[in-house]
Amino acid sequence: MNDNKTIASTLVWATNYLCAVSETPRLDAELLLMYVLGWSRVKVIAEQKATLSTAQVAALRPLIERRAQRESIAYIVGYKEFYGMDFMVNSSVLVPRPETELLVDLAIQHAHRVQQPLHIADIGTGSGCIAVTLAAQLSEVDVYAVDISSDALKVAAKNVARHKVIAKVHLIEGDLVAPLKTPVDMIVSNPPYTILSEIDAGVLEHEPHLALDGGVDGFAVYRQLLADAPSKLGPDGMVLLEIGATQGAEVMALAHAHFPSAQITLHQDLAGHDRVVRIQRNTR
């Protein structure tokens, strides 16, 4: 590794090491160094001449190695920012993605429009990032956060506690909407929608397949969810589904089949990709 263990030379070394596997090698190196040192990014950038101790170098090296094996920075440092909040993550849950913030925005818009206490179900809650964010952003909500994975729910429970929304978020182990006893006002979900053989190697090797696997064509979970959703949604209810960028037409067709009189719209994320299908049962 580097003999001259300054911040600057360590970052150059780590960046070069990571550039073959990461599109953001310098940022990755800075984030891992921040984690090891317990420093802010501003401090890491400002103190380029500071020297690392042998122990600090020894702590950093395996983390750089893990990143070189395409593991997400989020798993290595144990958290990921989503909607301006920190979420604890481990390999039992999908790492929250920034594009999922669109679904949260649409849910919040709807809640503000209807201006009444809402019961929301987050199906396949994973880390709980959607459920916890909605509970934190909206004053009068009850969020039923469902997941089939008890290990995922353990992570979600930590995030619920961390963000002090225990009174509003109810964690439920079960399959899709099956555990919902009464219809809710809104169903939100970022279900597994990928075709495993088509996804990025780093995602495939490190993230839970249970959260990614949409079956042979990627639509298996949408089929089940959309078949079951009508009986679990109240009269003016809304469904918000995250989708893969090429899945819009097919998911909208499925939505029309199960919600024939609903208003169904497709929404794009900040990168311009189709990302959310919104089903509004009765137009207000």
Residues near ligand GLN (CB under 6 A) are 94, 97, 190-194, 199, 203, 212
What CA–CA distance (Å, rounded) separates 242 from 93?
16
Toward ligand GLN, which CB reaches closer, 42 or 271? 271
Toward ligand GLN, which CB reaches closer, 61 or 97? 97
What CA–CA distance (Å, rounded) separates 95 from 71?
11
Amino acid at 165: V
Toward ligand GLN, which CB reaches closer, 95 or 279? 95
Where are any strands of DSSP class E within the chain? 79-82, 85-88, 118-123, 141-147, 169-173, 184-189, 233-242, 263-268, 274-280
Toward ligand GLN, which CB reaches closer, 159 or 190? 190
Residue nearest to ligand GLN (CB): 193
Shortest distance (Å) from residue 259 CB to ligand GLN: 21
Shortest distance (Å) from residue 128 CB to ligand GLN: 15
Phi/psi for 90 (5° steps) reads -145, -175
C-alpha dist (Å) from residue 46 to 8, 29, 71, 243: 10, 15, 27, 41
Toward ligand GLN, which CB reaches closer, 17 or 193? 193
Toward ligand GLN, which CB reaches closer, 60 or 130? 130
Q: Which tokens belong to 89? A: 């993550």
Shortest distance (Å) from residue 199 CB to ligand GLN: 5
DSSP string for residues in 267-281: EE-TTS-EEEEEEES
Toward ligand GLN, which CB reaches closer, 206 or 256? 206
What CA–CA distance (Å, rounded) separates 103 from 107?
6
Shortest distance (Å) from residue 254 CB to ligand GLN: 16
Shortest distance (Å) from residue 242 CB to ligand GLN: 6
Shortest distance (Å) from residue 194 CB to ligand GLN: 5
CB burial of 142-154 (b: ≥16 within 10 Å; e: otherwise) equals bbbbbbbbeebbe
Strands 274-280, 233-242: pairing is antiparallel
Shortest distance (Å) from residue 220 CB to ligand GLN: 11
